[in-house]
Amino acid sequence: MSTYLFTWNPDQWSWETLDDMISKLPNLKPNHQWKTNRKNDIGIGDNFLLMKLGKLSKNEKGIIGCGKIVSDVYTDKDVIKKIAQANFVNLEFSQLSKSPLISLLDLEKIDPNMRWTPEGNGNIVPELTFNKIFNLINQEENATLFEKRIYFPIIADEIDLALNQQSSIHRDEIVQHLLEQYQTTLEKIAKNSNKSILFIAQNMVDWFSAELTKQSDIVAEWQDKYSRTKVKVNGREITNYSLALNSSQDELIEDQNTTYTEGSIKQIIVNAYERNPQARKKCLEHWKYSCQCCSFNFEKTYGELGKDFIHVHHIKPLSEIKTEYILDPITDLVPVCANCHAMIHRKNPPLTIDELKKILATDKTDHT
């Protein structure tokens, strides 16, 4: 089994299906036909690396994809260069990104003797070089670019905010909302991971959808809340979110002292409720951003990155409310950190704030 280098030059060819292929990962491994200058000793089971070239800096050029070759060489029409017949193989991607997974600058350090910017496709990559690259890419993939338990609630909040105003929201719109609302946070994550803020935002939303598909515990509270379908946007299929059963949310918002109606029941596998963003805002104006269980404050710990971040816990679980009720954002909602919020919901029914405080106090006493 050998490894071959393929290239993509965006100056010469606009890859219109790139976003769609990226969106299918990690659940599916998309395929794409690719031209090869090599006719012999290349075929099914071989590895490939895909280089992004063009009029870019060495940090912007680099490996953007990798995977397996899943066909032997065959001939087909080259529509780009308008050649009647050229040699092709089919590439199956296990990793694919718009920005480099490993930049040309780093590749030249890994193997300075390798020609990383060839004009053709099919140059062989030395086994030792490939192993180094493969390990680096998988370290990147396995590394936590962001804390799911912290940022998944943010994504859900953005979806909820949108669904208060419209019937559905698709993946790219959620990404755009994140870019607009959390630019500073995304920039810091991107800087630490050497990724673009667009890549980070897309990665967050795609992982949120992937965990819903896997029915992971980390997204259990939203598992039955949203209905997900595929819609075509700019010629590609992406995930579209709507409430599992559409029902309007009543709001009683008249002045600063008003109460808020929260929770229109949708009968699905379990009852899900819409959340009122105005009520959350009112809660935090009163309680501020420190956890009411353990006093943790994200800004004090993480600086600017954690500013104005906290979970809001509904003291009475919405799943227990059988009719619409009048919510007081100060007495019915309370800010809690991600850890305490998770611990509250480890029990059914959830722990009260006082119950968790006692557990925390007992634990501290046991360790003194």
Residues of the chain predicted below pLDDT 70? 138-147, 164, 192-194, 245-277, 317-327, 363-368
CATH of domain 3-141: 3.10.590
CA distances from 128 to 36, 63, 196 (A): 23, 16, 29
Q: Where in the chain is the domain with CATH 3.10.590?
A: 3-141
As to burial, measured by CB atoms within 10 angstroms (0-12 exposed, 13-18 middle, 19+ buried), residue 249 is middle
Q: Give Cβ neighbours of residue 285 (< 8 Å, ≥ 6 apart).
A: none
The H or E element spanning position 36 is none
String of DSSP letters for 288-329: TTB-TTT--BHHHHHGGGGTT--EEEESS-GGG--S-EEE-T
Dihedral of the alpha carbons of 33, 39, 45, 51, in degrees to the nearest 10: -60
Asked if residues 241 and 251 have their Cβ atoms less than 8 Å apart, the reply is no
pLDDT in tens, 62-97: 999 999 999 999 998 887 777 778 899 999 998 888
Q: What does pTM read for this prediction?
A: 0.41
String of DSSP letters for 74-122: EEEEETTTTEEEEEEEEEEEEEE-SS-SEEHHHHHHH-TTS--S-SSS-
Asked if residues 322 and 363 have their Cβ atoms less than 8 Å apart, the reply is no
